Amino acid sequence: MIQAPRGTYDVLPDDAARREVLEARAAKVLGAAGYRRIETPTFEATELFSRGVGEATDIVRKEMYSFDDGGGRSLTLRPEGTAPVCRAYMEHGMHKLAQPVKLWYLSSFFRAEAPQRGRYRQFWQVGAEAIGSETPETDAELILLLAELLEVLGVGDARLLLSSLGQPETRAEYRDDLRAYLHAHEAELSEDVRERIDLNPMRAFDSSDRGTRAVMAGAPMLLDRLTPEDAEHFARVRELLDDAGLAYELEPTLVRGLDYYTRTLWEFQSSSLGAQSAVGGGGRYDRLIEQLEGPSIPGVGWAAGVERMLMAAGEQPVGTPLVDLYVALAADGGGAVRTGFGLARDARRAGLQAQLELAGRGLKGQLKHADRLKARYVAIVGDRDEVGLKDMESGEQHDTPAANVIPTILRGSRLS
Q: Which residues pair with 160 in a beta bridge?
A: 268
Q: Phi and psi (nearest 5°) for 249? A: -115, 130
- Near ligand HAM by CB under 6 A, which window of 74-82, 228-236, 336-344, 380-388? 74-82
154: contact with ligand HAM by CB under 6 A: no
Q: Which residue is nearest to ligand HAM (CB)?
A: 305
**How far is it, in rounded angstroms, from Cα 17 to Cα 96?**
39
Choose between 100 and 280: whose C-beta lies nearer to ligand HAM. Answer: 280
**How far is it, in rounded angstroms, from Cα 131 to Cα 303?**
15
Tell me the HSE value of 246 on the side-chain side, using a 13 A CA sphere. Answer: 26
Preceding peptide of 100 cis, ω within 30°: yes
**How far is it, in rounded angstroms, from Cα 100 to Cα 214?**
44
308: contact with ligand HAM by CB under 6 A: yes
Choose between 64 and 330: whose C-beta lies nearer to ligand HAM. Answer: 64
- Near ligand HAM by CB under 6 A, which window of 34-42, 96-104, 298-306, 390-398? 298-306
166: contact with ligand HAM by CB under 6 A: no
Size of the site for ligand HAM (CB under 6 A): 29
Choose between 303 and 347: whose C-beta lies nearer to ligand HAM. Answer: 303
What is 139-164 written as a DSSP string?
Answer: HHHHHHHHHHHHHHHT-TTPEEEEEE
By CB under 6 A, name the one of 26, 149, 182, 304 that touches ligand HAM. 304
Among candidates 380, 405, 370, 383, which has minimal Cα distance to 329?
380
Helices (H), 363-403: 363-372
By CB under 6 A, name the one of 89, 123, 205, 326 that touches ligand HAM. 123
Report the site for ligand HAM in 337-366 (rule: CB under 6 A).
Answer: none
**How far is it, in rounded angstroms, from Cα 271 to Cα 362?**
53
256: contact with ligand HAM by CB under 6 A: yes
Contacts to ligand HAM by CB under 6 A = 80-82, 111, 113, 118-120, 123, 125, 127, 129, 256-258, 278-283, 285, 301-305, 307-308
